[in-house]
Each structure stands twice: as structure tokens, then as C-alpha cells.
A and B are shown apart, each in its own frame.
Chain A
Amino acid sequence: MRILMLRVIAILVTFIGLYMLSQFVTYQMDPYYFQVLIECGVYIILAVSLNLINGITGQFSIGHAGFFAVGAYVGAAWTMIWQPMVVERYSFLQMGTLHGDILNLLIALILGMTSAGMAGFVVGLPSLRLRGDYLAIATLGFAEVIYVLLLNINSVGGARGLNGIPTLISSGNLALFWVFLFVIISIVLSRNIMQSVRGLTWLSVREDEIAADAMGVDTTKVKVTAFVIGSALAGAAGVLYAHFLTGISPDIFSMNTSILITTMVVLGGSGSVTGSVIAAIVLIVLPEVLRFLKNDRMVIYSVLLIVMMLTRPQGIFGTKEIGFPKWRRKQPKTEGRSA
């Protein structure tokens, strides 16, 4: 009962805090910084969700931009193509008012996450047969297929992309609220999975698949579940990003983006949620900070990455976490939630 109360309070505080922050930040912050902040949030979701697949379950997937794209395009397709088709019949779907925008955003999120999750299921299936580099190539191939499809489907704009997407998430100055709500969801979800005994079985698949199987871990189920959850979260990131940018094109979801997300996970330390978060922030903010170097900035950026990986190949955090109270043997009662 007490835990439930604490939890309700924690959720309320999170919501109100995010809302207030969102209002405050939107009025006070320079739009450029604000954009960087939102971008950080989106990439944190992507990195943390890829970490579920790559870092925790150990399935080396490097096609995360594919799921990101599926979410973004399906979400945008709702607001730009499908919603106008049904809005006459169901007038409550009208956009423009705050609650109308929120309702449409939620529908876009559900559609985007579901379709990205289904894509994750389809990609997760070969992961049962493919290991290591072979799986990496298969996932990369998937992302490329999505990319090429988007380039060639005219109803979503082809290479020009979809433009003029309503900025649903900015309605009521809530952009930061939505993005960081999903940041929190993905972090808490990863943490909760990792801290449960069932989540340990995900780690066991990474550590030694044959042994995991021999201990009764259904490795098939674990891998596919990781793919589905990871991709659904990437889909959510896509929906939010599309409705923030107002314009998306296939180039946003090219192989570079896949590599960038993978780099975040590896740089932060595969398996470490904290690491993914920090690395996502670093890799988004760094190019902006280095802007004064003009054309040399990407060179410096790359050199920094190389140095980083040479000096600390296990990533910034290795597999460590910050703010994840470890279960302690001496006091079993302390296993409470720390929101």
C-alpha cells in the first residue's frame, strides 16, 4: 500500500514537474538551444531503447534508424493522410485545440509504436538464427530497405519527404513534456527490466546463450521481446521527432543515423542505461559545441570518438549504472523503488 502511494506520488510529481519545466523552458529558452534539447531527448530514447537490444540482450543490431523511421512516417501518416480522411466522420479528432492535438498525438504514438514494434518482431525473428556480425548486417539491411522504400513511395513524399506536419507536440508548449516523458518511460522500463530476475535472463542471453538455454531461459522469446520493446520505443521517438520538426525526409533516417545510435550505446558502455543517456547527450551536444570550428568540426568530433574508444573500449560507464540502487544482500527490505 505504501509503495503504491509512493508510486502515485512519484508519477504525479514527474508529470507536474515535467509540465512546469516544459512551460518554463519553452518561454525562457533560446529556440536553438531548445531544439538541441529536444534532439537530445529523442536520441536518449533511441539510445536507451537500442541498449535494450544491443547492450542488455547482446543482439548486435545496427539498424535502429529503421524503426525510428517507421515510427516517424506512420505517425506523420496519421496526422497528414489518415486523420484528414476520417476527421469528417469523427469530428472529435479535429486538430487545433489542445485536447484535439493531444488526442491525435496519442493516436499517432499508438500507431507509430505498434508498427515499429511489429517491424521489430519481423527483424527479431532472423535474430534467432543469426549471430553477431551476421545479425548486424541483417539489421543494417532492414534499415536500408526502409530507407529505400521511403525514398520511393510517392504518397509519403519520396525523397522530398513529408512537410508541414502539424507540430502536435508543441501544442500548449508541451514539446519538452512529451519527449522527456518518453525519456523517463524508456529509462524506467530498462531499469525495471534489468533489476528483476526475469531481466537477468536477458543479460544471460548476452553472456552465454548456450548456457542460458541450458538453464531453461527461452532465448527465442527473450530476443524477440527485446526487439519488439526496443523498436516500439524507437517508434515513439520517431513520432515525437516528426511532430516536432514538422518536416521529415528519408535522409534523417539514413545509415548515418543508425550508426550514430549504435555509437551512443557502445560509447556509453553496452548494457549501461546511464551510459547510453550520457553518450546520447554528448554525441548530440558535441557537434553543436564544436560549431566554432566550422568545417573542421566533424574531423575533431571523429578524432574525439576514436580517442575515446582507444582509451576506454568498454565505454564511458562500462556496465555500471548511476542512481540504480543495487540490491544488497544484508538488507533485503531496501529493494524498494527509487523513482
Chain B
Amino acid sequence: MATQTAEDGGAIRIMSVLEMRDVTKKFGGLAAVSGLNLVVEPGELLGLIGPNGAGKTTVFNLITGVYKPSSGDVLFQGMRVNGLRPCRIASSGICRTFQNIRLFKQLNVLDNVRIAAHLHTKANLLDSILRNNRLMTNDRELTEFSLMILRSLKLEDVSDQRSSDLPYGLQRRLEIARAIATKPRLLLLDEPAAGMNPQEKVELMELVRSVRRDYQLTILLIEHDMRVVMGICERIYVLDYGELIAEGKPEAIRKDPRVLSAYLGE
């Protein structure tokens, strides 16, 4: 089932990057997400919005393997990924940022990115211990690669600073840089604009657009700030109480009565 779609008749058909089929996640009696169907097409920049407690971050946790769905399937590029460990899902090409920033605080900016870049390492632990040629070239490549990412996100000037010393906006940006370093197909951004001022939000929108273009990413983004979501997302899913209440283009979502009532009350 896993590879069937990819090898159909030799030609690779366009398949969705991510598909959630009737996914439900229950915590005790409470369904944080119920019967969610969601499709992310290649290259899309998709928004996932909803009031507080709607289950948005739970959706991310389901996709990245932090939680296992109570029922339903999560398919990444046609492959079932529910039940895989988070690190396996990350190495298969889904990477995320965190709502409450989770950098490796004591390490410097470059090392934060290099840790994510380790996924592309070809050297094993023995190479590390022996410090042989393979390790040296490999580590040099990874370092160059990490520096390139830092440059493209305008973080190269702070590359040797401790990540916890960075100002808030740069920490958010470093989270994105780190996620990109795993070379994901699908990037999940969990409230990237949280706590930013209007100027930083504009910069962030620009940044999201440019990394999507430069790294050919498909992006799924959770955001509270309507201006950000409406500004960059091409399609939006709206969650409320764990259920999908609307889906469509920003203009349509803006007018959707169910969305309005979810946000503003009846």
C-alpha cells in the first residue's frame, strides 16, 4: 500500500504531500480532533486556523508522530506514517517548529542548525570517534550547508551566539532555519508569528514566502493572526472543537458564517 501510488505505471503521478483520513484523537473522553480529513497538495501554502483549544497543535502532533491517532490514517506522500516514531517521520521529510520555542538553548546558532542537518550525515559513530576523512569531509559539508541556510535566513551574523541569547524574533527565525536544515518536503509552522510586533510579522510573511520558494517547500501553518494567515495562505482549513468547520480560499473563509460564529460567537 505504501509504495503503490508512487510506482503506478512507472510514471509518478502527482500525489498529495499529506493526507489525513478521518483522523480522530481522543484524550480520555475528550475528542481533541475528530474525523478530520485534510489534504495538502505539493507546493501549497496552507493555513490551519481556529479558536483557542480547537485542536490545531494536536493536528501537528498527530502528523509528526508525537501522538498516535485513535483512529484514521495519516499519509505522507502516500505512505502511512501514523505509528512511526517522531524521529522517523522527521527523517522521512516532515519537520516542524514549536509554538513555544524549543531551541537547544545552551548551544550556539550554528550548532542548532547542524543538529538538524545531521540527518544527511553519511558518517557513523565510529567515524566520529576515529575522526577520519569521511567524517571530516562530511562534517565540513554539513557545516557549509548549515551556514548556507543561516545566510539565506539572514542569521549568519549571529551564528556563534548562544541561541538563548537571541532576541525573540530571531529565535523564531532560527526555529524555521533549523527545520529547513532537515531538508523537509513538508514544513509545519506552529504559530510562527506569535508574540511578534506588526513589523516583525511583515518580515515573517516575507520570510515564509521566500523559504517556500527557495527550498521548494510545502507549508502548513497554524496561526492566530488573521492578517498573516489571510496574507500568505492560499487555502485555509478552519478547526473548531476538533472538527473541520470550513475549508477554502481566504476570501471565502472570511465570509463563511460558521467561521464567523466560531470566532465571534452567535
Q: Which residues of A approach B to under 8 Å, CB–CB? A: 3, 189, 192-193, 195-201, 203-204, 207-208, 210-220, 225, 319, 327, 329, 332, 335, 337
Binds A, one of B123-131, B203-211, B215-223, B242-250: B123-131
Binds A, one of B14-22, B72-80, B99-107, B193-201: B99-107
Contact A198-B118, Cβ < 8 Å, known A211-B98, A214-B96: yes
Q: Which residues of B approach A to under 8 Å, CB–CB? A: 64, 66, 85-87, 90-91, 95-96, 98, 102-107, 110-111, 114-119, 121, 123-125, 127-131, 133, 135-136, 138-140, 142-144, 147, 159-160, 178-179, 182
Specify which of A213, A216, A218, A327 lies most central, judged by the most chain B CB atoms within 10 Å of its CB.
Answer: A216
B87 contacts A208, C-beta separation under 8 Å: no
Closest to A337 in B: B131
- The A interface is mostly helix, strand or loop, or mixed, namely helix
Pick the residue among A208, A216, A218, A219 that contacts B105 (CB under 8 A). A208
A210 contacts B102, C-beta separation under 8 Å: yes
CB distance from B120 to the nearest CB of A (A): 9
A197 contacts B142, C-beta separation under 8 Å: yes
B128 contacts A198, C-beta separation under 8 Å: yes
B139 contacts A335, C-beta separation under 8 Å: yes
* Residue numbers in A under 8 Å from B115 (CB-CB): 197, 200-201, 203-204, 212, 215, 217
A216 contacts B91, C-beta separation under 8 Å: yes
Pick the residue among B96, B107, B125, B130 that contacts A207 (CB under 8 A). B107
B129 contacts A193, C-beta separation under 8 Å: yes
Contact A197-B117, Cβ < 8 Å, known A192-B131, A211-B104: yes
* Residue numbers in B under 8 Å from A225 (CB-CB): 125
B87 contacts A213, C-beta separation under 8 Å: yes
B107 contacts A335, C-beta separation under 8 Å: no
A196 contacts B139, C-beta separation under 8 Å: yes
The 5 nearest A-B residue pairs measured at CB = A216-B90, A207-B104, A196-B128, A211-B102, A213-B86
* Residue numbers in A under 8 Å from B111 (CB-CB): 200, 203
B142 contacts A214, C-beta separation under 8 Å: no
Q: Can you add 20 more A-B contacts, CB < 8 Å, to A204-B115, A216-B87?
A: A3-B133, A193-B125, A195-B131, A197-B114, A197-B138, A197-B143, A198-B124, A203-B107, A207-B105, A208-B105, A211-B103, A211-B104, A213-B90, A214-B90, A215-B119, A216-B118, A217-B115, A329-B160, A332-B143, A337-B131
* Residue numbers in A under 8 Å from B123 (CB-CB): 196-198
Once the chains are docked, how many angstroms separate the CA of A311 from the CA of B121? 41
17 A-B Cβ contacts within 8 A? Answer: A189-B129, A193-B125, A193-B129, A196-B139, A197-B117, A198-B121, A198-B123, A207-B103, A213-B85, A213-B87, A214-B64, A214-B86, A217-B118, A219-B87, A329-B110, A332-B143, A332-B144
Closest to A194 in B: B128
A192 contacts B130, C-beta separation under 8 Å: yes
* Residue numbers in B under 8 Å from A198 (CB-CB): 118, 121, 123-125, 128
Once the chains are docked, how many angstroms separate the CA of A214 from the CA of B115? 11
CB distance from B79 to the nearest CB of A (A): 16
* Residue numbers in A under 8 Å from B139 (CB-CB): 196-197, 335
Once the chains are docked, how many angstroms separate the CA of A327 from the CA of B104? 18
Specify which of A200, A201, A212, A329 lies most central, judged by the most chain B CB atoms within 10 Å of its CB.
Answer: A200
Contact A204-B119, Cβ < 8 Å, known A214-B86, A329-B159: no
B147 contacts A192, C-beta separation under 8 Å: no
Specify which of A189, A213, A219 lies most central, judged by the most chain B CB atoms within 10 Å of its CB.
Answer: A213
